[in-house]
Amino acid sequence: MTTSLPHLLKVSDLDSERLLSLLESAIALKADPAAADGCGRGRSVAILFEKPSLRTRFSLEAALAATGAHPVGAYDQEVGIGTREDVTDVGRVLGRYVAAIAMRTFDHARLEQLAGAAGVPVINALSDTHHPLQALADLMTIAEHSCGGDVASLRGLPVAWVGDGNNVANSLIEACALAGCLLRVACPAGFEPEPGLEQWASERGAVVTLGHDPAAAVEGAAAVYTDVWASMGREHEAGARARVFEPYRVTPELMGRADPDAIFLHCLPAHRGQEVSASVIDGPASRVIDQAENRMHTALALFVRLFREE
């Protein structure tokens, strides 16, 4: 979709410069949230969630509160998007009320339809194929812990993704490619990330390698990242996936292959004993709560940019 509006449906709606400046702004706002300075006062933002959420919903609402803007939320089937209401009508109507729309849904195409109709920026709060807000917080967390807060130093940093090639992985690939991290992905055959992303990254001079060997992916990594084996909407596949994904659990032994100062990341919610050992996610290398906190600071940076650029 080509548009002049600053939609954020995928990380690749940003370029490297915009991504890094958002991360810098998020780090600055974390140190001084008052710098948001009421820039959203008098504005409303629609929050439409068709799947459960803790971090995304609360971080968006808290970030909006920090700007002085008002979040207006509808959850589950309250609006009836695609049943009671055509998605383009939802966009056209909400576009008359609010400064932006954040939506969590299943089919990514629904977000594209909404963005095409709304006339205001649309933010993807997670679809089946992308989770850009998560990737912003992921890179911010890596920059804080492995680069002393210098986002330019993300370039060349080895990062490992172990597990499902899902929405979080797709957005991480795009984010790492734009920031210049050396991302190594290890996932079971048949569970690879979105086709074409490796090529997209290499066209931008980025190094993203896809493979099936967790040990090779993690070797020397500064950050080791995993997510659930069965995402929302795939719960019925959990049993079959558990058998295939067993070798992809992030254990203390696997973490032992990473850099001695490596951090462990997980977007949460997590299943201890499945994709990650409890001793890893609850251990000294884990930064998952900082990572969750950073969802709020990156959301704030996004809204500040959006309100100030209007």
Where does this chain bind ligand CP (CB under 6 A)? 53-56, 126, 134, 267-268
Catalytic residue (one of 131, 184, 249, 266): 131
- Least Å distance between CB 238 and ligand CP? 17
Q: Who's near 305: CB < 8 A, 6+ residues apart?
A: 6, 22, 25
96 is catalytic: no
Beta bridge partners of 97: none
Given 117, 173, 183, 267, the residue binding ligand NVA (CB under 6 A): 267
Residue 72's nearest CA partner among 111, 109, 40 is: 40
Let me know: does 294 contact 30? Beta carbons within 8 Å. yes
Instruction: Identify whether 269 is preceded by a cis peptide bond (ω within 30 of 0).
Output: yes
- Least Å distance between CB 52 and ligand NVA? 9
134 is catalytic: yes
290 is catalytic: no
- Least Å distance between CB 86 and ligand NVA? 25
131 is catalytic: yes
267 is catalytic: yes
Query: How far is Cα 42 from Cα 263, in angstroms, rounded to an integer?
Result: 40
Residue 267's nearest CA partner among 152, 171, 195 is: 171
Given 166, 286, 291, 298, the residue binding ligand NVA (CB under 6 A): 166
104 is catalytic: yes
Let me know: does 158 contact 182? Beta carbons within 8 Å. yes
- Indicate which of ligand NVA, ligand CP, none lies near residue 294 (CB less than 5 to 8 Å, by partner kind): none
Residue 297's nearest CA partner among 165, 146, 137 is: 137
By beta carbon distance, the residue nearest ligand NVA is 231
Pattern 216-235, ligand NVA, x by CB under 6 A: -----------xx--xx---
